[in-house]
Structure 1
Amino acid sequence: MARNEQLIRQHKLLQLLELSRFGRTLEELRADLVADLGLSKLHERTVRRDIEALQAAGFDIQSETVQRGRVFKLGQNTTDVHEIGISATELIALSIGRELLYPLMGTQYWRGIETFWNKVQEAVPNGVFDHYARYRAALHVFGSPNKSYERQEGMLKTINRAILEHRVVEIEYQSIGKPVSTRKIEPYGLAVYQSSIYVVAAAPEIADSKERLRNWKLDRFHHAKLLDEYFKPDPKIDLSKHLGRSIGIFSGDSPATVKIKLGRRSASYLSEDPWHPEQTLDRVDDEATILTVPASHPRELLPKVLALGADAEVLEPEEFRKTVADTVQAMADAYQ
């Protein structure tokens, strides 16, 4: 077995033992590893060897015999290593971040967030937590939809493993308005955008390297199967650059430069809440400002422009202007 798979498995073992208050048997640990890592098979002997390797590395993993058999758990020397010292201000910042990540509910990431949050609450002195609670009651975070990825949890684990091991995944995917199709993807990473999780993956059937990388919405996955096929990651791919080229989740190698004429009110909105870090606002006169912003597809720009109403006019490129014009005309026809 490849060394990285062994390291991933042993790291997961530590997480499972850390979460278990009363310990787990080898069979329980084996079953959890199979489920969480998307393994096709795993023998108890392998789990035992992993535990022995962790013990040899200095982790205090103890065992005892209870009614349900021999169980393993972390000893006191391990659980006390990561003692937390945190201030009320840091608690506020952490709790805000936790609430902003509500869309990750149902995933292993959310369980990690909740486990850490519970540890923090148990570790801080009562006085610090009371001080935090008084200030936190005055600050509210809202706007994130009530969304859960519990249904896609198994697929997310499969994709995570594929990213780490550079393996091809066969998916059943349903684009909006289209039937479910089966295809292969080469996953590079994950992105969270406007409360949704996207899989950033290459489509092997596309020859042009500049067009192969796509963003696949996890909500539209019906099934994901890890294949015994491996791909060589393209060293030229930089996910941060790929995701940062445009104002939304659509992305391309060469985004268009869009110019939009804004009224005074919309220009004020865009100066307060920018669409993109590279946007520019050039004032024409007291009533008009030109917004210049990168965008990869008219569909990602459309809802933003429509939200500004008649106070925004797309000037160029022509494709973007026509998309907005056609939509406005269709809306006008529907309301007549």
Structure 2
Amino acid sequence: MKSSRLLATVLLLQTKGRRTAAQLAEELEVSVRTVYRDIESLHAAGVPVYGDAGHQGGYQLVAGYRTHLTGLNPAEAEALFLSGLPGPAGELGLGNALAGAQLKLRAALPPELRAQADRMRARFHLDAPGWYAKDTSVPFLQEVADAVWGGRVLNVRYRRWKTPTDVDRVLEPYGLVLKAGRWYLVAGPGPRTYRVDQILTLEVSEAECAVPDDFDLPAYWRDYQEGFRTYLYRAEALVRIDGVEQTVSIESIPKAARHFLSLGPSAEVLEPPELRREVARLATEVAALYARDTSATISEATPP
């Protein structure tokens, strides 16, 4: 732990230049006293770090000194593909590993590329969840992730949408997918897809499992999404929106009717006839509701 912190101290000084003891303590999440001891340890190890006293003082490396200890450890390498997703990395327990990996990569870049990377990071931000999505608790996410990394069988109690809702399953974890802010576990036998937030209880088994050699997680997820859309949207409707006719896929007559009604007079359903009738029925009910409320208001406002 101390050796990693000493390396982090050197990398911070290498990439950010002069830093006070208080700044180093905040960035390394240690006490100022610990920073002092670490600086002494670096001196003893021959690292050319020196300090300046005074209000503008701080620690810095001798000009031109660069460490070559920028190799990534396994946890940091696993975190790299999430470098644009600090939130999900933290959910998986890789937040510190991600920060360490980014620091090492930044230290390894020449000054001009480092400045370019800093500008990119300052100008672009990825926010994965969709609008209006509620924050969903995922209590077993890290345990599931550990099972995926370690190839361990999971015994879970899972809540599904159909009866019986709560079922027991023995799962062989193949991979995790983050879609619109929600985590999904792809697991055998099957494989099949499970929402991680719907796992009610979880026990990591001592039994080991392995992902089949021919399994491709991105390819599976593409096929799964296509199959889901085909299952969900089984019909089509012809609508005129702002004077333009177009054919759209719909899930069901009741859901589609409510959706098109929410678009107001800018959307008109042309086909199928049953959908057009359902939209008209709902519109009539809404008009009657507001007409009743309007009449009551006028009656109350009219003097006797």
TM-score class, shorter-chain normalisation, is 0.3 to 0.5
TM-score by length of 1: 0.43
More helix by share: 2
Q: TM-score, normalised by structure 2?
A: 0.46
| Larger RCO: 1 or 2 (CA < 8 Å, sep 6+) | 1
